[in-house]
Structure 1
Amino acid sequence: MKAILLTAFLFGIVPGLKAQQLKKMQTDLQDKAAITQALENIYFKGIYEGDVSLLAQVYHPGTLLFGDVKGQPYAKTLEQYLDGVAHRQSPKDSGKPFKGDILAVDVINSIAVAKVHVKMYEFNYDEFLSFHKIDGKWLIVNKMISDVNL
């Protein structure tokens, strides 16, 4: 009798677990696709063109930016960062090489981290971008940056 109950229990639970795992995998893929699209169509494009209104669409207003550039500490508020972008020559207008690459995106529920590489001007930046899904939209809430020698 115990064997019959155990068998019935397992046949009832296991398919439900597989369905839950499949749904989570589909959600993860959808979230990764949404983050990838935000990076490619807004973040990289905004940096390349120097378009602060475009960049503002992908950043949470309270975002902080930290790291190092040429060995010097780098710490800015989003407002300071966007002001810098607005008052510099864009990579597009400079005619210098620009390339943004997504190296990895990891999603857990409503948070995510993207590792990206950005080549612009004479710099090669490795960046960790923390995302949070707010009101159904993935926004950067923290940016960590370091220039690296390649």
Structure 2
Amino acid sequence: MKTLLLTAFLSCAMLVLKAQHTTKMETTQQDSIAITRVLEDHYFKGIYEGDIDILKNIYHPGTLVLGDIKGAPYAKSLEQYLDGVKNRQSVKDSGKPFKGTIISIDVVNSIAVAKLHVKMYDFNYDEFLSFHKIDGQWLIVNKMLTDVANQ
């Protein structure tokens, strides 16, 4: 009888653990898909077209943009960064190449990091975007970039 009860208990415990793991995995997959949509439908489009209205909707107001370009340090507030995007010729209008590639997305609870490769103008950037899910929306809260040699 003890063996039967122990077996039943362990079977139930395994089902509960499996269900919890499945739910967490599905949530993580849904969040990864949501972040992919933010990147493909808004981020890449906004930087390609130079559309700061699109970009404003996916950035948290306190975002910092940090890194290096051709070896020179780069540090801007979100306002400074968007002002630069607004006042430069868009990649679309320049006729220069553009390609945004998502390398990876890692999600843990309400935070995530996306690694991207972005070719625009005559630059090749590796970018790391930090996301935070705020009021059900994934927002970029930090952007780090570096100009890498042609790959």
Identify the TM-score tier after normalising by the shorter chain.
over 0.9
Q: Which runs of 5+ in 1 are unaligned?
A: none
Helix, strand or coil for the counterpart of 1:149? coil
Helix, strand or coil for the counterpart of 2:89? coil
Q: 1:84 matched to which residue of 2?
A: 84
Q: Which runs of 5+ in 2 are unaligned?
A: none
Helix, strand or coil for the counterpart of 1:32? helix
Q: 1:12: Cα distance to partner?
A: 1.3
Q: 1:10: Cα distance to partner?
A: 0.5
User: CA RMSD for the aligned pairs?
Assistant: 0.9
Q: 2:105 matched to which residue of 1?
A: 105
Q: 1:148 matched to which residue of 2?
A: 148
Off by >3 Å, runs of 4+ in structure 1: none
Q: 2:73 matched to which residue of 1?
A: 73
Q: 1:21 matched to which residue of 2?
A: 21
Distance 1:104 1:125 in 2: 15
Counting only pairs closer than 5 Å after superposition, residues 5-16 of structure 1 correspond to structure 2 as 5-16=5-16
Q: Which amino acid aligns with 2:125?
A: Y
Distance 1:11 1:88 in 2: 62
Helix, strand or coil for the counterpart of 1:46? helix
Q: Deviations over 1:109-138 (max 9, x none)?
A: 000000001000100000000000000000
Q: 2:132 matched to which residue of 1?
A: 132
Task: Give the alignment's TM-score, normalised by structure 1.
Answer: 0.97
Distance 1:6 1:145 in 2: 55
How many residue pairs get aligned? The number is 150
Q: 2:95 matched to which residue of 1?
A: 95
Q: Which amino acid aligns with 1:29?
A: Q
